[in-house]
A and B are shown apart, each in its own frame.
Chain A
Amino acid sequence: MASHKWIKFPAENRDAVVKELLKSLLEKGVVSGVVAPSTLPSGASAAQSLITDPAMIDQLNPFAPVMAVSTAKILSQMTRIKPMTKKVAVLLRPCELRATIELTKLKQANLENLLLISMDCAGAFSVKTYASLVQEGEDPMGLEAKLFGGEEDPLLRPVCQGCEWSVPENCDIVIAKHGLGADQYGCIALTDQGDEALGVVGNGEAWEGGEEARNTAVQKWNEAKIAKRDAQFAELKEKVSGIDNLLKIYAMCINCHNCMTVCPICFCKECFFNSAVFEFESDRFMDWSGAKGGLRLPTDTLLFHIGRMNHMSTSCVACGMCQDACPNEVPVAQIFKMVGYNTQKRFDYVAGRSLDEPVLLTQFREDELHEIGGE
């Protein structure tokens, strides 16, 4: 959209430019609050925070490449019962944005009065990895520059390494990297609301004719990510395929259900797998064991994982939170992502891509899926 603002600035000023923008929005009353990551007192992690005092904008660490809790889950918490009555600016990663869109369609979040600011995302590190990087004196920003330069980093969360949706679409403002040299960043307004917000800090240096260069760069970036994703899928498919492999891969699962708890999309107040359906009389256990001679306890480990795929994979945005939360490093996010990719592809759907595409399980049509049967 040529009519909206495209500005650019030196790379080393990125944090300062974005903080100044957020501070001005607060000071001028354009927004009443800012949701963005702040450095925590340990210095070795960052968490989302709701800032209402402009003086506290300085503590923000807006691009810390770490996601402690999905911002989508936070926005659902803040807006589900009642939409924001005052405008709030939210800085979030593209997967968090997609999860927010998905939750909005599921009526678990409300976008009213939100000014959504997202970014070209090079990926994030797990909370643990980020903390050790900081403690070892590594500069996460330096790592990010390498990633945007096309280098791979095996420490990056695996789903981020092969993330083909790391350029945001449905937001008001994008903090942009693609299409600019290594020494520059930019801000792009995608909506009128975004355009007005960018206007509060003046026009900045115009990023003239950036669209073509950006499109080319985004395409190149996405192609590399898709190639990586396909390589990951191929490797994973080998590892999980068949019941013997599945039992091996979920052998370390301790049924803590952390993966479900942290999932932004798993919004049910009471999970089916924690419900009375899974409470059994003593004889049932004896019967099950009797049929095989033995029974893993607690029961239904694999059923939980496959059941969750059946319930939620069509809305999975592949944010990877589940894998970060797994105490035993079961590659739950990678498996969920591969399954979600296939279930969504079957219906030409992408979770969180658009508010206009209804969620799959609320829709049904007569003229589809004839190969499955029926009629």
Chain B
Amino acid sequence: MSGNLKARRRVAILKTIFETLGLDSERVHLEWISASEGKKFADTVKKITEETKQQGPNPIAKQWSL
């Protein structure tokens, strides 16, 4: 059972790339939630929704020339 640990490295690498390129690394999020942690799942989704609303739409979504 190590996929979560490997994924955390991947996320760290992706965030580092975003930081280097001046992109918003806060839009990448990692959370470990097991199947039995229903409340944690709900709370996390609420938190992310809240944060995303505050951040507003990603300006990259409007770019046609990506």
Contact = CB atoms under 8 A, between A and B. Distances in A.
Most B CB atoms within 10 A — which of A291, A306, A347, A373? A373
Interface stretch (A135-143, A188-196, A238-246): A238-246
Contacts of B11: 372-373
A294 interface: yes
A364 B6 contact: yes
A373 B31 contact: yes
A364 B5 contact: yes
B66 A240 contact: no
A372 B22 contact: no
Most B CB atoms within 10 A — which of A291, A301, A343? A343
B51 interface: no
Given A366-B5, A373-B31, A339 B21 contact: yes
Interface string B35-66: 00000000000000000000000011111111
Interface string B2-44: 1011101111111111011111000001111000000000000
Interface string A353-375: 00000001101111011001111
A372 B8 contact: yes
A338 interface: yes
A296 interface: yes
B55 to A, nearest CB: 14
Q: How large is the interface on A (under 10, 10 to 19, 20 to 34, 35 or more residues)?
A: 35 or more
Contact of B64 (A292, A338, A343, A365): A292
A314 B17 CA distance: 11
B12 A294 contact: no
Contacts of A234: none
B20 A342 contact: yes
A112 interface: no
Contacts of B29: 373
Nearest to B66: A302
Interface of B: 2, 4-6, 8-17, 19-23, 29-32, 59-66
Top-10 shortest CB links A-B: A241-B22, A364-B5, A373-B30, A296-B65, A294-B64, A242-B22, A374-B32, A364-B6, A292-B64, A302-B66
Given A293-B64, A299-B66, A373-B29, 5 more contacts: A242-B22, A296-B64, A313-B13, A364-B8, A364-B9
